[in-house]
């Protein structure tokens, strides 16, 4: 009984740290940046409260899985656009923009792609990009064209694309995407490039080279998956500024902040500080045009399944109550 009582008190203390929705209005109203969230179509369709908060707070959406190759063409030549179409239709109905995610990524890739020889693989990648980007031509504000191309030390990740097509696959992907949808902003996107480090250095050198070649790349997506266990990345504002100085837009594309469990008021305050530092770094650079979180509620966060012992990474808790992090962004 004593253990249960103590646990109950702890829960009440933590819940007392949640805050009401801001009197200033929804999050999208307090900034001139796009404010977005990743969206899962099954929750959008099945949960009225989830849909209500999403609609109220954000003006941009990113399909969480529905535009990935493994979903839209799991079997070669057989397409399933139902989830992606539903999210695009929701965005149009509610006046939101869409960030397309993602055209070329080594993960969530159909098995049949990996077995192709180089010449056929190149043709298939071109066809995939032109088919998907072409389907949503004029409906997508920005595309994550190439996702997670580097290792932590700044070397090229040895994906099926890198191994079989070589360095040129990235430039090719951007050219094909631009041909399919000339008005969409095209980004390279990666994690652990928030601060100044070998991986962000490699990304910087790549996009500088692509710009010199006249490749139609318009921006860098900084994912922003952070954890209280590892400290806040150093030099984030300077890193964003150097990409912007190349004439590129920068977007925070997948922000969340993992908390080592159990949750405490102190950890929630630290999480709020991390979110606030990312928000402030973006707002310090004019060409940082977007702040998107990877989901907005702990109810559906990907974190506990991938990082055992960590969780509560979003701006809203499982009951869709705004947390101190939300109040830090929208006081």
| DSSP labels, 63-110 | ESSTTSHHHHTSBTTB---HHHHHHHHHHHHHT-EEEEEEEE-SSS--
Distance CA 258, CA 275 (A): 11
Q: Which of 7 and 238 is assigned the larger pLDDT?
A: 238
- Distances in Å between the Cα of 113 and the Cα atoms of 49, 107, 124, 125, 169 are 38, 11, 8, 9, 15
**Residue 14: per-residue pLDDT:** 44
Residue 205 has pLDDT above 60, yes or no: yes
**Residue 22: per-residue pLDDT:** 56
Dihedral-angle region of residue 138 (phi above 0 means left; psi in -120 to 50 means alpha; beta otherwise): left
pLDDT in tens, 6-22: 333 333 334 434 445 55
Q: Which phi and psi angles does 191 have, rounded to 5°?
A: -105, 165
Domain encompassing residue 72? 2-329
Place of tokens 């139902």: 82
Please choose, from the candidates 237, 238, 226, the residue with its C-alpha nearest in 3D space to the C-alpha of residue 273. 226
Please choose, from the candidates 114, 101, 105, the residue with its C-alpha nearest in 3D space to the C-alpha of residue 144. 101
| Contact criterion met (CB below 8 Å) for 254 and 191 | yes
Residue 161 has pLDDT above 70, yes or no: yes
pTM listed for this prediction: 0.93
Task: Please return the burial class of 89, using the count of CB atoms within 10 Å of its CB with bins 0-12, 13-18 and 19+.
Answer: exposed
Task: Please return the burial class of 296, using the count of CB atoms within 10 Å of its CB with bins 0-12, 13-18 and 19+.
Answer: buried
CB atoms within 10 A of CB 220: 28
- 116: domain CATH number is 3.20.20.80
Distance CA 241, CA 235 (A): 10
Distance CA 34, CA 289 (A): 6
pLDDT in tens, 27-69: 999 999 999 999 999 999 999 999 999 999 999 999 999 999 9
Q: Which of 193 and 3 is assigned the larger pLDDT?
A: 193
Place of tokens 């050198």: 205
Distance CA 1, CA 11 (A): 15
DSSP conformational letter for 152: T
| Contact criterion met (CB below 8 Å) for 255 and 224 | yes
State the chain's maximal CA–CA distance in angstroms.
Answer: 69
DSSP conformational letter for 27: G
**Residue 24: per-residue pLDDT:** 66
Number of domains in the chain: 1
Average of pLDDT values for 207-232? Answer: 98
Residue 4 has pLDDT above 90, yes or no: no
Q: Of 10-14, 117-121, 190-194, where does mean pLDDT reach its minimum? A: 10-14
Distance CA 62, CA 101 (A): 7
Query: Which amino acids are annotated catalytic?
Result: 148, 254
């Amino acid at each position: 009984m004593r253990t249960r009582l103590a646990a109950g008190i702890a829960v009440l203390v933590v819940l007392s740290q949640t805050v009401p929705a801001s009197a200033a209005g929804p999050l999208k109203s307090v900034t001139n940046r796009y404010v977005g969230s990743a969206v899962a179509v099954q929750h959008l369709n099945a949960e009225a409260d989830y849909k209500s908060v999403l609609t109220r707070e954000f003006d941009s959406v990113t399909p969480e899985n529905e535009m990935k190759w493994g979903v839209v063409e799991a079997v070669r030549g057989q397409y399933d656009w139902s989830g992606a179409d539903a999210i695009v239709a929701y965005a149009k109905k509610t006046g939101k923009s869409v960030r397309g995610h993602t055209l070329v990524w080594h993960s969530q890739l159909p098995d049949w792609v990996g077995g192709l020889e180089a010449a056929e693989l190149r043709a298939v990648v071109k066809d995939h990009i032109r088919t998907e980007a072409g389907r949503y031509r004029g409906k997508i504000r920005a595309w994550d064209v190439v996702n997670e191309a580097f290792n932590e030390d700044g070397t090229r990740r040895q994906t099926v694309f890198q191994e079989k097509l070589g360095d040129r696959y990235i430039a090719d992907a951007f050219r094909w995407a631009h041909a399919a949808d000339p008005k969409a902003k095209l980004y390279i996107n990666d994690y652990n490039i928030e601060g100044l480090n070998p991986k962000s250095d490699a990304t910087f050198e790549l996009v500088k080279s692509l710009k010199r070649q006249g490749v139609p790349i318009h921006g860098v997506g900084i994912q922003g998956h952070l954890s209280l266990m590892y400290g806040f990345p150093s030099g984030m504002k300077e890193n964003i500024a150097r990409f912007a100085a190349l004439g590129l837009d920068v977007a925070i594309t997948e922000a969340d902040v993992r908390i080592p469990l159990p949750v405490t008021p102190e950890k929630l305050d630290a999480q709020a500080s991390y979110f606030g530092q990312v928000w402030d770094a973006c707002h310090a650079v004019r060409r940082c045009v977007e702040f998107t979180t990877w989901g907005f509620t702990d109810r559906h966060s990907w974190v506990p399944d991938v990082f055992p012992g960590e969780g509560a990474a979003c701006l809203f808790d499982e009951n869709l109550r705004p947390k101190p992090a939300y109040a830090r962004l929208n006081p």
